[in-house]
Amino acid sequence: MEWSKLVPELTVTDFNASLTFYTQVLGFKLAFSRENASGELVFAYLDREGIQLMLEAAPSSWPVAELTKPYGRGIHIQMEWPNVTQLRDTLMQLAYPLYRDIDESWRETGTTLSGAREFLVQDPDGYLLRFSQDLGERAKDLA
């Protein structure tokens, strides 16, 4: 596994529920984990085809403020996904609520438009996750 240069670490209230969501529902693999003195998992480093994130059981090692749900307010985590429709369908079969259903977006990126098919969900602690499938680029209409 190659280490990513930016890896978010998410503080979670129910470590097992979060680990299950990220591994069994989203398909992340456990790269490594750590236990506390009681033998409970309290940290996990996850990877899915180069998308990496860390989970840490609350309370955080570096609390900057009191945690209130939904966590991660003001930020969302975008992940490039090979097939967002398939993932969305999996979540719907599990009756997992979507924050926003699939939409196609074309955004200015200089002199071109970059396209993405994407949808959003919140993880068990409310972190907002955007799953994005690349649609390529097209010329920006200059008229």
pLDDT tens sequence across 55-88? 999 988 888 888 889 999 999 999 999 999 999 9
Q: What is the DSSP string of 23-49?
A: IIIT--EEEEEEE-TTS-EEEEEEEET
Q: Is 134 in the same domain as 92?
A: yes
Q: Are 4 and 45 part of one and the same domain?
A: yes
Number of domains in the chain: 2
> Would residue 87 count as lying in a domain?
yes
pTM of structure: 0.91
Here the CATH number for the domain that contains residue 120 is 3.10.180.10
Domain with 32, as residue range(s), is 1-59
Residue 45 sits in the same domain as residue 8: yes
Residue 12 counted as domain residue: yes
- Indicate the pLDDT class of residue 143, thresholds 50, 70 and 90: very low
Identify whether residues 1 and 47 lie together within a single domain. yes
141 in a structural domain: yes
* Euclidean distance between CA atoms 32 and 19, whole angstroms: 12
H-assigned helices in the chain: 15-20, 84-93
DSSP string, 83-97: -HHHHHHHHHHTTPP
> Rounded CA gap, 143 and 133, in Å?
28
Spatial CB neighbours of 9, under 8 Å, sequence gap ≥ 6: 53, 54, 55, 56
